[in-house]
Structure 1
Amino acid sequence: MNNNNIYKPKVSIITIVFNNRDNFTKTMDSVRKQSYPDIEYIVVDGGSKDGTIDVIKQSGDIITKWISEPDNGIYDAMNKGIKMATGEYLWFLNGGDMIYSGNTLNEVFVSGENADVYYGDTELVDEEGKSFGRRKLKTPPENLTWRNMIDGMVITHQSLIIKKSAVVDYDLSYRHCADIDWTIKVLKSSNKIINTKKIISRFLLGGYSRKNTISSLVERIKILSRHFNIFYVLLNHVKLAFKFIIHIIKYRKIL
């Protein structure tokens, strides 16, 4: 197949950042290294005071559009990014997230499948760039559907590239786990979902994490119960708890 004849749709890469200059720079540099020809890079800043704005202003070579203003949390900021996007596909890479290689987007679209969703795996790295391998506790299913989400985020948002026509706004009534609800809705509305079978993103260990663990768990169960039978949701969480404990004992680390 002649790669010059492959359809290469416009991709809107959206980065949410707040007072995270150094990690944002890593994300932006990974976008800058892409060989893909049609990228719209959008940055939604929450009103940073640490020099992030200076970096944004100096990066007109790669940043297509940006805003800096207070928001009502990360999901509100992500909704702003969705509204700003004009690409056929959307890809969320927040501060500290990185694209796996300079040719990743070309590799994603090489099949010419025109899918609603492309997905892949995620590599875990530390701030020095040391790799801890693929995300082990939950790996992407071979054939992803919304039903897989009964296990929670079996796919990271950093490794989801979604056609804008399949995208919905994040439900801001959820403060901690709106990404689970959002991903289920996106997958439900998608007819064609392609597994790239590649690592397509790097996730920085120690980056964004959910706080208020009990509140997050309650909200997570509430969300999953809206989409699945409550009995199976609770049973699955018991199984996941045992799996998590075994994982900690075996690897002596939490991923």
Structure 2
Amino acid sequence: MFNPRLSVITIVYNNVRDIERTISSVVNQTYTNIEYVIVDGQSNDGTLQIIEKYKDRIAKFISEKDEGIYDAMNKGLALATGDYVIFMNSGDEFYDSETVAAVFASGDDADIYYGETEMIADDGSSLGQRRHKAPAKFTWRGFKYGMSISHQAIYIRRSMTEPYDRRYQLSSDIDWIIRAAKKAKKIVNVNRYVAKYLIGGMSKKKHRQSLIERFDIMKRNYGLLPTVFNHFVIAFNLGWYWLKNRRTND
């Protein structure tokens, strides 16, 4: 039976409202071969007290100042020792208690596993599937029209991961996944929901900077002219999605 060790990494800073939901979704998995790593940015709002409640279920924990989310995520990667890694940051959750077991039951020894994501509103209500539906098949070229797989829904063989590129403050996760996918020989679509994603975050608050970073990442990986063309396609698809949903709501 395929039973790899999974390192689940949670990054948190002053998120006392959501951290327990995330921790619960990890420690309540039916799959038991999990190494849970939490990297805290020296919270002072009660987050540490909640983490303390689960200390016997957490393999590695640090609380110290960092230089931003990707610095913290690099610290988590450095601490991880599992065969695979996934980031389930504060506010995000595994879809249900069977998620990890279902992921590894979907195929043996893949380099990457991925699935679909449900969006969750600030009040905890479901907003349904992401606009970017997970593709039936995924390769490193699959992000040319946008991030079609969310960060919380992709499991990567740890030996294929590299540190996050900290020149990008908001979109380094796209670059990180592309770099790993370029090395992957076997990529498995789990064909189920695997994560719940709390919408918002800095990439939404600093949307312009995020778009500039994404354009640079895509230009470096796919070339300038294809990236310009692909952005016209992205703009058209976004406009059509908005128009279709406005008609539905009217």
Q: TM-score, normalised by structure 2?
A: 0.94
Matched residue of 1:161: which SS?
strand
Residue 124 (structure 1) aligns with: 119
How far apart are residue 213 of structure 1 and its match? 2.7
Distance 1:221 1:209, change over 3 A: closer
Shift of 1:53: 0.9
Distance in 2 separating the partners of 1:112 and 1:147: 22
Relative to 1, partners in 2 of residues 1:66 and 1:138: Cα closer, same or farther, differing over 3 Å? same
Give unpaired runs (5+ residues) of structure 1: 1-5
Task: Indicate whether 1:159 and 2:153 are aligned.
Answer: yes
How far off is 1:22 after superposition? 1.8
User: Does the residue aligned with 1:34 lie in a helix, a strand or coil?
Assistant: coil
Indicate the residue corresponding to 1:30 in structure 2. 25
Q: 2:7 aligns with which of 12, 22, 44?
A: 12
**Given the alignment of the two structures, is residue 191 of structure 1 paired with residue 185 of structure 2, yes or no?**
yes
Report the alpha carbon displacement of residue 200 of structure 1 after superposing the two structures with TM: 0.3
Structure 1 segments (4+ residues) deviating >4 Å: none
Task: Give the C-alpha shift of residue 225 in structure 1.
Answer: 0.9
Deviation readout 1:144-185 (Å, 9 max, x if unpaired): 000111112111010001110111110111122111111110
Report the CA distance between 1:50 and its aligned residue.
0.6
User: What CA deviation, in whole Å up to 9, does each residue of 1:192-211 have, x standing for no partner?
Assistant: 10000010000113345344
**1:15-62 per-position Cα deviation (integer Å, ceiling 9, x unaligned):** 001111121111001112101011111111111111111111221232
| AA at the equivalent of 1:75 | Y
Alignment of 1:99-118 (within 5 A): 99-118=94-113
Q: How many residues align?
A: 247
Q: Is 1:44 matched up with 2:47? A: no
Q: Percent identity?
A: 43
1:163 is matched by which residue type in structure 2? R
1:61 and 2:52 equivalent?
A: no
* Letter in structure 2 aligned against 1:42: V
Structure 2 gap ranges (5+): none
Write the deviation string for residues 115-156 of structure 1: whole angstroms up to 9, x where unpaired. 010000001122443222211x21111110001111121110
Q: Of residues 208, 218, 225 in structure 2, which corresponds to 1:231?
A: 225
Give the letter aligned to residue 121 of structure 2.
D
CA distance in 1, matches of 2:127, 2:52: 33
Contact 2:117 2:194 in 1 (8 A): yes
Once the two structures are overlaid, the 10-residue window that deviates more, 162-171 or 126-135, is: 126-135
Where do 1:134-173 residues align within 5 Å? Answer: 134-135=129-130, 137-173=131-167
State which of 243, 249, 252 in structure 1 corresponds to 2:243. 249
Residue deviations 1:59-89, cap 9 Å, x none?
1232111111111111111100000001111
Matched, 1:219 2:213: yes
What is the match of residue 83 of structure 1?
Answer: 78
Shift in Å at residue 229 of structure 1? 2.0
SS in 2 for 1:151: coil
Aligned partners of 2:170 and 2:203 also within 8 Å = no
Match of 1:3 in 2: none
